[in-house]
Structure 1
Amino acid sequence: MKFVTFSHKKAGHHHHAGVLDGEQVACLTEAGLAASVLEIVQGAKSALDKIRGGLTQAPRYALADVTLEAPIRPGKVLCSGINYKGHAEENPNAKMPTEPFFFAKLPSSVVGPDVPVEKPVRSEQMDYEVEFTAVIGKPLHKASEFDVMAAIFGYTLLNDISARDVQFKDSQITIGKNFAGFAPIGPCIVTADELTRPDDVALKTRLNGKLLQNGSTSDWLFSLPRLISFLSHYVPLEPGDLVSTGTPAGVGAFQKPQIFMKAGDVVEIEAAGIGVLRTPIVAG
């Protein structure tokens, strides 16, 4: 299933949990099946079984008539740094890592599909990164690699927007990655049972329609079990947390010449099986 959070004028513009079904959204909240997508993630199999049993009775809205929001409000957003061979090779300053590297995107930076994001006044190097992202479904702490996949609820997309001139100056990675709106996620969360090969997912980024990233998770340096097991030995993970897996080659900072986003641009990131996450850039 593909879970979304949405609002609709007929539903009072409230935040509702829904299931994306082609060009329709089935409203789980109005059907009494789930108040939020986070509730579904926390409820795991029992929540999914309840939804499957009652889905046919859920009110439906045309996708064109609803506003999709960030599919979940995560407690933590933890992002893998250099985790694609191609991205490591395109960065002249990168060293091939011997173990995973992580940084945090703050939950306050999370926005949903089609939400305008301001180009910061304090940056002239606003960059994009398509990132395939796991949604944690069960607590993980000091987990073995063997235990990881069973604890993943599903997958979504994250655009790891970055202010490179801030990020690279004095290693200000936290500030450079966390301007307002710098963590668009969505458009949905696809359950793990429907996306069974996370290690072979095509990823793309288009800026104003021009294809700039065209990669695949098959280029990972570290597998998903390795990434999340490693991380869980340092940071306890909880249901609803997001763990991104890095970005493939083609980011703006390493284009020749460099390409950075500006007001008026539209960036779209895409993953096979998940969909397209669109973000317009506006003046700050």
Structure 2
Amino acid sequence: MKLLSYRSADRRSWGALVDGEILDLAAANPGWPTLAYALGDAGADGIGNAVTAAANTAHRVALDSVELLPVVPDPQKILCVGLNFEKHRIETGRERTEYPVIFTRFPDTFVGHGAPLVRPAESDRFDFEGEVALVIGRGGRRIAQDNALDHIAGVTCLNDGSIRDFQSHTHQFTPGKNFPATGSMGPWLVTLDEIVDLAELELTTRLNGAEVQRAPLSDLTYSIPEIVAYCSSWTELRPGDVIVTGTPGGIGARREPPLWMKPGDVCEVEVSGVGVLRNAIVGED
């Protein structure tokens, strides 16, 4: 099942992709105004039942007639794991840590598939970071690794676009990760029941059609169950929260010469079995 959030005629909604069209599940289920709310109320299984019930009666919208939003436009938390591919850790010169490196992003830093990523006026060091993002379907605190997958609704593609000079102002990543509209998430969430093995998902990033990153999730330093268990040890995960699992080696900042995203470029993040997230780059001015 593919779930997405969108805007159509100034109305924000969400739905399921069925036969190339969007089944408007918000209209069919007024008690579920957003995907995050529906996950909290019914979970992915309940949404699946709603898709079946509404398949022949719910309003449908052409996919190419809407503006796609980030899969979850309103998460309570966006938790990002840094340095979680060994090749990326090595290229940054960082020591391996005993625990996952976690930083946060704000919801307004993300746009959806097809929307432009905005290089801010303050910097031209705008870097790509293709990643796989998890969306929490069932909340919890102190989740055991053995139960972690039960709490994941599904996965989506994410570009953790980074302003590198601001990121390195101090040892805290926050400024370089939170300029508005510098990251993207989408095009849709693929529910976990459609993914045979998370570890075998392959992540690829392309800039202007040229491959710049590629790695399977089996290369993660901290596995998905480890990440979910660790994050839930210190914060309560809630339905709709997003956990971003890390980027592979090959980032633009560590190339010679550096490779920055600039206005006119197009960046794509592809996750096997999920889809392709595509965004053009524009200047803020």
* Cα distance per residue 1:170-221 (max 9 Å; x no partner): 2241011000112311110111111231111111111111111111111111
Q: CA deviation at 1:2?
A: 0.4
Q: TM-score, normalised by structure 1?
A: 0.93
SS at match of 2:146: helix
> Structure 1 108/13 Cα, relative in aligned 2: closer, same or farther at 3 Å?
closer
Secondary structure of the 1:171 match is: coil
Q: Aligned residue for 1:128?
A: 128
RMSD over equivalenced CA pairs, Å: 1.7
Contact 1:118 1:181 in 2 (8 A): yes
Residue 22 of structure 2 is matched in structure 1 by: 25
Q: Which ranges in structure 1 are unaligned for 5 or more consecutive residues?
A: none
Q: How many Å separate the matches in 2 of 1:205 and 1:140?
A: 32
Tell me if the contact between 2:185 and 2:277 (Cα under 8 Å) persists in the aligned partners: yes
| 1:114/1:259 CA distance change after superposition, 3 Å | same
- Check the 8 A contact 1:166/1:172 in 2, yes or no: no
The separation in 1 between residues aligned to 2:125 and 2:171, in whole angstroms, is 15
In 2, Cα distance between the equivalents of 1:259 and 1:47? 42
Contact 1:82 1:97 in 2 (8 A): no
Asked if structure 1 preserves the Cα contact closer than 8 Å seen for 2:132 and 2:158, the reply is: yes
Asked if the contact 2:16–2:51 (Cα under 8 Å) also holds between the matched residues in 1, the reply is: no
Are residue 139 (structure 1) and residue 136 (structure 2) matched? no
State whether residues 202 and 215 of structure 1, in contact with CA within 8 Å, keep that contact through their aligned partners in structure 2: yes
CA contact (8 A) 1:40 1:48 kept: no
Tell me how far 1:22 sits from its aligned partner: 4.5
| Amino acid of the structure 2 residue aligned with 1:154 | G
2:259 is the alignment partner of 1:234: no
TM-score of the aligned structures, taking structure 2 as reference length: 0.92
Query: Which digits, 9 at most, give the CA deviation of each residue in 1:39-94, with x for residues without a partner?
Result: 22112133332332222322323322222111212111000011112212322x21
| Partner residue in 2 for 1:260 | 260
Identity over aligned residues, as a percent?
34
Letter in 2 for 1:134: L
Equivalent residues of 1:162, 1:177 under 8 A apart: yes
Q: CA deviation at 1:147?
A: 1.9
Give deviations 1:89-128, integer Å, cap 9, x for gaps: 322x211233211000112212211222221122221101
Cα offset, 1:21, TM superposition: 2.8
* Corresponding position of 2:91: 90
Task: Tell me the amino acid that sits aligned with residue 37 of structure 2.
Answer: E
Q: 1:208 and 2:205 equivalent?
A: no
* SS of the residue 1:139 aligns to: coil
CA contact (8 A) 2:37 2:239 kept: no
Q: Which amino acid aligns with 1:108?
A: D
Instruction: Report if the CA contact (8 A) 1:19-1:28 is conserved.
Output: yes
Letter in 2 for 1:208: N
CA distance in 2, matches of 1:257, 1:21: 44
Asked if residue 36 in structure 1 is aligned to residue 34 in structure 2, the reply is yes
Q: 1:206 to 1:57 in 2, by over 3 A?
A: same
Q: Equivalent residue of 2:261, what SS?
A: coil
* Amino acid across the alignment from 2:184: P
Does 2:156 match 1:159? no
